[in-house]
Every structure is written in C-alpha cells, then in structure tokens.
Structure 1
C-alpha cells in the first residue's frame, strides 16, 4: 500500500515508518518538527539526540535497504496538506500529527491554544484532504484510552449498547477526558464520526494506552534509529520516566496515592497494532474503534517493577510520594475491554522481569546524559506547582 504517516517524526511515528516500510509498504512521512520545538522551548530535551527525519531516512535505507520518503511542512496549512495528498494519493493515512502531551496542554493559555488549534485543525484538514484526493483511503487515527476517563463501569471497545425506556441503540462510549489534550482527542473522534456518517469515510480510531520502550525489530543494533526517550514530566510517559529516574538515583515520582490505573503496551506491540489496523482496513462508512493496550497497571505497580529491576541490576531505587499535580481519581475501578486487536492477530509482549531489565540496561547506557533538573518541575492542572520539594527542584536536586 501507499502509506502516508502524518507526524512521522514522533515517538511512535518514526518506528511506524520503519516497521511498515520493512513490511513492503511504500511509506511517506510528513512532520513540521513541532514536538522538537516544544521540547526546546520548555527545556525538556530527550535523553539523547535524535537525527532529523531526512537523516533518519538515510540511516534506515543504509541499514535495511528500505526507503522512506520525507516531507516537511505544517499540516495545519491547507495548501501543505492538499499538496501532500495530491502527490502521494495514499491508500492508508496514519494520523499522529498532534501535540502529544497532556501536561503541556495544561501549562497556560498559550499551550492550551496551540494544542486546541493544532490538533483539531490538522484532523479537519486530513478529513477534507481525504474527501478531495483519496476518498477510498483508510484513515488510522491515534486516539487515547484517556478519552474514556475512569468511569465506575466496564469500558467497552469504543461503542456501547444502551436500553432506555423500552428502546435500544448503539452509541460511542461516553467520554470524560482528564486534560485539554485528551479533550481534543474526544473532539477528533466526534469529528470523524460525523464525517463517516456524512461522507462514508473509512476510519479506525485506536484508543492507545501509554507506550514504553525503545527497541524494536527494525532498530535492533542501531541506536541512531531509536526514537525519542523523554524522561521529563511534560513529554515522558510514566514507565520511561521511572526507568530514567531509577538509573539517575532520583526517587520515583509517584503522584498522590499511586492507584491511578491505565492500560500499557510496549513499543513493539504498538507497531503490531497499527500494522494490523492498516492491513485489515475498516469498511466504507465505518468508524471502527480498538482499545489498544496489553496489560493494566497502577502507578504503584510500575514503581514496584522498576524498583525490583533496579535491585537485580545493583541500583538502589527509592520511591517518593508527591502531591498530585493533576486532576484525576487516584483510586478507581478500571476494567476496559480490548479484544478487537487480539482477534486480528496481536501477539502481546508482557512486561516480564526479563523485559524490564532489558529496557533498564538500555537506559543505563545513557546515564551520563540525564539532567536531574528536567525530571520534575511540578506542572500543575491548576496552574501552580505543588509545594513539596520546591526548594530541591529549584536547586536541581532530587527531592528525597
């Protein structure tokens, strides 16, 4: 297939490009380096430098013999999006091109404004570009399990059957997002559902849980093909952050009671899921939803797994409870369905002790690049940082 990946420079975007090109698809990636710019602006650079997209493509072709085409441009600009679709005429569009951070979206008005306009603007342009240039293409859109929130009932896979006053119907499962970023994802889903009904688009919406890890089949033995590994509280996912904290000797930053439970998956499984969605497309006029995760863990569960791995590797890993800077339930019921991708053939990678140790060893090779001051600065949903450890943070020390 001709596959167009929007947001191809991101944490999952670039690994997806390698994975699908290795599988024989013709891959074009597009990006405007928004994530890189925001990392620089907030002083939250990744654990190690990542080559530009053009250099990544050259490295990948030399490593594998597979080619990835690169296009740089702002996809909020309709002329850029239209030209890209007219050139590529994709069979499949994978849409990652959004500001990806919940904490960033909550920093201040400017960060919220950027998140809202970028995320919805790009999604709107994608929809219209498909209508004009690729009406039979299949859109694979990256959503998030965070759209659902933490309801006190089982979370169904996208849709729910409701009986009310003797009648029944099928609806999108109710959403209760916990940040502005997650709210833009909810609005994406609503936009897509409208245009699926109006124009007969074919769409798969992947409700993805937090992803962890770096190594995939494609980048094995070639660290320059690794994706970003962020360990700050703005762009880092929790398990990646905990691993870096453990290696740095920085107490693991558990927010509040640590009972917040979510569905997680390894990078390798995220790539499996996307490829399964690409190669078994939704039907015309269908909004297909998959809950994309492998296992559920609480924050305390993850902290204990990192602590145990550290002990096996000779690291003394501490844990510190901090006032929760987010607005979220810290103890809650959580039982989401996730059978759709398993039925398509997903072979999950469980978070075993062996896998945990393997990831920790990779992170440990970059120990000298860790900047403790970036780990925790108290980005708060209310606009004010928690008071615990404030003096330590100002001095760039772990709050112990």
Structure 2
C-alpha cells in the first residue's frame, strides 16, 4: 500500500511513517516544519534532541534498507497539495499536519485565527485534492477526544442515535470543544463527513486521547530516529510534565482539583491504530469514527500513577486552573472499533517503568523549569467572569 503521511516530521507523524514503512508499506512524508518554528517562537525545545528530516530519512535507510520519500510544502497552498498527491498517488493519506496545542490556540486572537486557518483550510485542501486526483483514496484523519468535551452521557464513536418526538435518526455526536484548537478539529470532522456524503469519499476520523511515550520499536533502533518529548506548558502533556517533575524531585503540579478526566493512549498503540485503520479502509461514502484511547484517568489519578511508579519520594501541588473546564464530571467513552480490528493495548504504568522515567533522567539537563509554568489563561483579565456550574 502507498501511504502519504502529512505532518511526517511531528511527534506522531514521524514514528507513524517508520512503523508503516517497517510493515512493508511504501511511505512518503510531507511537512512544512512549522512545529519546529513554534519551538523558536515559544523559546522551548523537545526534551529529547531531534534530527533534521534528511538526517532522519538517511538513518532509516541505513538501519532498515527502506526509503521514505519526502515533500516540503504547506497544505494551506492548495496547488501544492494537489500536485503532491498527484505525484505520489497514495492509496491512503494519514493527516497529522495541524497545529495541535490547545494553549497555543488560546494565547490571543492572532494564534486562534492562525490555528483555525491553518487547520481548517489545510484539511479542506486535502479533501478537494482527493476529490480531484482520486476519490478512492482513503483519508485517515487525526481528530481528538477534545471535540466531544465532557458530556453527561456516554461518548459514542462519532455518531449518536436520537429519538425526538417519536422519530429516530442517526446524527453526528454533539460536540462541545474546550479551545479554539479543538473547535478547528470539529470543523474538520464536519467538513470530512460532508465530503464523504456528497462526493462519496472514504474517511476514518480518529478521535485520539492524550498520547504518552517517546519510543516505538522503530525509533529505538538509532538515536537519530528519535521523536519529540514535549513537556512545556504550551505543547507538553500533563503526563510528560509529571514525569520530569518526579525525576527532578519537584512537586507534580495539578491544575485545579485534578478531577478532569481524559482518555490516554501509548504512542506504540497510536502508530498501530494508524496501521489498522489504513489496512482496513472505510467504504466509499463512509465517514467512520474511532475513539482512539485505551484507558481513562483523571489528572489526580495520573499523578498517583506517576508517584507510585517512581522509586523516589513524590509530592503533589495544586495550582489554579488556567483553563475554563469542568473539574469534576462524568466521562465514559466507547472505544471498541480499533480493538475489534486487532489492537492489543499497552498499559500506562508499564510504559512509565519501561521508558519515560529513563528518558527524562537521561536528558534532565535540557529541562527549562520556567517552560512548565502555565502562562496562557483561557479567560483574559478583561473577560466577564461567571460562576461555573
């Protein structure tokens, strides 16, 4: 199978490309390297050093004997997008190429507008390019569990059967995103479903939870193949932050009560989910949704897992929550589709013991403590205050 990975230089895009190549697929990657530019803008860096794309590609050729083709360009450029897809003629397009940080999208108007223009327009260009070049191409799009928010009912896999005034219909699951970034993903999902419905495209929307981990079997073959480890308050995840704080002997900083619950998934499971979705494509005209998580934890529970898995003493410190979100809520997610395709999940505690603490300890001299402090607030000082329900 010919698979084009958009955003192939990113935290997930790069190990996904390696995983697919290792499984015998002919792979190409595309990127405009915007993610590296965000580091320069924010004054941060990946905890683990990452090599330039050409070094990565050559390292993979040396260790595997396989080649990965590379394209440089921006999906917001519709002409580039069409020409790239026409040149490579993929069977499947894996779309990771979006600004993916909620805090980044909430910095100010400029960052919110950039996030939505970059994500929504880029995704639209991909849809139009598929329709023009080959409507049979299967789009595997990375969505996010953050599209759903935290509803007081079970979160189904993308669709909901509703009975209203005696009539029943199947509708897209209602969305209540928590940032301008998450809202851009909602727009993407609706645009993809529309394209499937009117053009007969085939698409799989993977509503993914928080990803943790830094190594896959392929990236572990050579240090030049390493992917990112983000821990800062803009692009980092809460788990990565807790791991570094534990290794450094600092308190684990929990926002608010810590009752916020999220779905999580190991990076090794993420790349396998992409393979399973690619090798088992949606039908023509089908907008298929998988909730891509393996476990659910509250922030407080994540802190306890980290503390219990670490050999040293660990304390917890609660900070004012910079986000506007429910801190105690119902959260029950249906996530059966990928398991039915053959996913065998890894467990959070095992990953911490095997990998994350060791990675953090190895590169602890690269930690910028100031970068972990929350500086972006969802409600500005001039915004009207209200009491949360």
Q: Shorter chain as normaliser: what TM range?
A: over 0.9
In the TM superposition, 1:43-192 aligns within 5 A as: 43-192=43-192
Kept in 2: contact 1:106–1:383 (CA 8 A): no
Distance 1:303 1:296 in 2: 13
Kept in 2: contact 1:248–1:372 (CA 8 A): no
Q: Deviations over 1:41-86 (max 9, x none)?
A: 0112111321111111111111111211111111111121111011
Distance 1:194 1:255 in 2: 37
1:381 to 356, 359, 378: 378
Q: Deviations over 1:229-270 (max 9, x none)?
A: 011011111111211122222321100000100110100000
**How far 1:363 moved relative to its partner?**
1.6
Q: Does 1:357 align with 2:341?
A: no
Distance 1:177 1:298 in 2: 18
Structure 1 residue aligned with 2:38: 38
In the TM superposition, 1:202-351 aligns within 5 A as: 202-310=202-310, 312=311, 315-351=312-348
Distance 2:381 2:132 in 1: 45
Q: Which moved more, 1:48-57 or 1:260-269?
A: 48-57
Q: Deviations over 1:342-400 (max 9, x none)?
A: 10100010123x43222211221111111111111421112369xxxxxxxxxxxxxxx
Q: Give the TM-score taking structure 2 as reference length.
A: 0.96
Distance 1:355 1:176 in 2: 31
- SS of the aligned residue for 2:185 comes to helix
Aligned residue-pair number? 381
**How far 1:186 moved relative to its partner?**
0.4
**How far 1:318 moved relative to its partner?**
2.2
- Which ranges of structure 2 fall in alignment gaps of 5 or more residues? 383-389
Kept in 2: contact 1:248–1:370 (CA 8 A): no
Q: Which moved more, 1:160-169 or 1:243-252?
A: 243-252
* Closer, same or farther: CA 51–383 of 1 in aligned 2, 3 Å: farther
Q: Does 1:200 align with 2:200?
A: yes
Distance 2:176 2:235 in 1: 22
Distance 1:123 1:250 in 2: 41
Kept in 2: contact 1:5–1:94 (CA 8 A): yes
Distance 2:207 2:346 in 1: 18
**How far 1:37 moved relative to its partner?**
0.4
- SS of the aligned residue for 1:176 comes to coil
**How far 1:221 moved relative to its partner?**
4.1
Q: Which moved more, 1:18-27 or 1:44-53?
A: 44-53
Over aligned residues, Cα RMSD in angstroms? Answer: 1.2
Distance 1:153 1:34 in 2: 37
Kept in 2: contact 1:294–1:348 (CA 8 A): yes
Structure 2 residue aligned with 1:396: none
Distance 1:153 1:306 in 2: 29
Moved over 4 A (4+): none
Structure 2 residue aligned with 1:2: 2
Q: Give the TM-score taking structure 1 as reference length.
A: 0.93
Distance 1:92 1:20 in 2: 11
**How far 1:183 moved relative to its partner?**
0.2
Distance 1:164 1:373 in 2: 52
